[in-house]
Amino acid sequence: MKFIVASRGDTLSNELQQVIENRLCQAELIKDTRSPDMVITVGGDGTFLQAFHDYNDRLDQTAFVGIHTGHLGFYADWSPSEVDALLTHIIKTPYQVIAYPLLEVVIRYANNREPARYLAVNECTVKSMEGSLVCHVEIKGETFETFRGDGLCMSTPSGSTAYNKALGGAILHPSLASIQLSEMASINNRVYRTLGSPLVLPQHHTCLLKLINGEKAQVTIDHFTLPVHQEKVETIQCRVAEEKVRFARFRPFPFWKRVKESFISD
């Protein structure tokens, strides 16, 4: 099996990265940065986000597993004290894979600039760099509402515990093939009226944001902000992607237990 260990870059994570690499190489597993079967992240959820985007061109062949050197993460649920046991599992046993849905984002620009397609594992956000964001929201080809406010967030079920949660969105079990639209401070008056509640869309529904002031839009995909082009953003189309993210699973760690331990108490 080919593997890569991605570190957050702090001393503890780098030391653990070295230990893991040595032990797996001794067991005759192959370190391969270009086409790993398994990506082991050491750090936090942010470290996983970076690794996901580094390898998102081969998601069907790569499984992720995460170790947290800080607090418990949703994508980094193994603690440093469990690393020995984890490595024994990786070396000795075939592993189970679970696959979770992703968000597909297609951005279309004015002046015939090529559309751009992205995959998000947490979310896509749209904000205005200047003034309020104004956009028409279409669901499944029908006009739904006109939004005016700070911005909109379209999240995956896995991302529902991240930015979406801070916006009052619901936490969804990551096995639900769906996407969630949540608002950032909408203005509601006689001209602009929005639902005001987060919306969860199923796999076969598409949400289209038609931007009125797209030249001032700032779009993020997970941890990175897209470069602003001269051509203005006309539409942002979001739906459940065909691709999935795959996690190597070696023991049960139910999602709701992780939610409780992350947000309530351990």
Catalytic residue selected from 32, 37, 45, 60: 45
Closest CA to 75 of 60, 63, 84: 63
Per rule CB under 6 A, is residue 163 in the interface with ligand NAP? yes
Task: Specify the length of the chain in residues.
Answer: 266
Residue 164-203 contact track with ligand NAP, rule CB under 6 A, x = bound: --x-------------------------------------
Residue 223 CB, nearest distance to ligand NAP (Å)? 3
Contact 4, 40 (CB under 8 A): yes
Q: Find the binder of ligand NAP among 162, 172, 184, 200 (CB under 6 A).
A: 162
* From 25-33, 69-77, 204-212, 252-260, span contacting ligand NAP (CB under 6 A): 69-77
Q: How many residues belong to the site for ligand NAP (CB under 6 A)?
A: 18
| Pair of tokens at residue 19 | 């230990």
| Residue 149, amino acid | G
List Cα–Cα distances, 99 to 67, 176, 198, 229, in angstroms.
18, 11, 24, 34
Per-position DSSP letters for 210-262, written without gaps between them: EESSGGGEEEEETTEEPPPPSSPEEEEEEEEEEEEEEEEESS---HHHHHHHH
Closest CA to 80 of 51, 53, 40, 22: 40
* From 22-30, 161-169, 188-196, 226-234, span contacting ligand NAP (CB under 6 A): 161-169
3-state secondary structure of 167: coil
Is 185 annotated as ligand-binding?
yes
Active site residue 45: yes
Residue 97-136 contact track with ligand NAP, rule CB under 6 A, x = bound: -------------------------xx-------------
Q: Which residues in 16-45 contact ligand NAP (CB under 6 A)?
A: 44-45
Q: Kindly tell me the burial class for residue 222, based on how many C-beta atoms sit within 10 Å of its own C-beta (0-12, 13-18, 19 or more).
A: buried
Is 150 annotated as ligand-binding?
yes
Q: Contact residues for ligand NAP (CB under 6 A)?
A: 44-46, 49, 70, 73-74, 76, 122-123, 158-159, 161-163, 166, 222-223
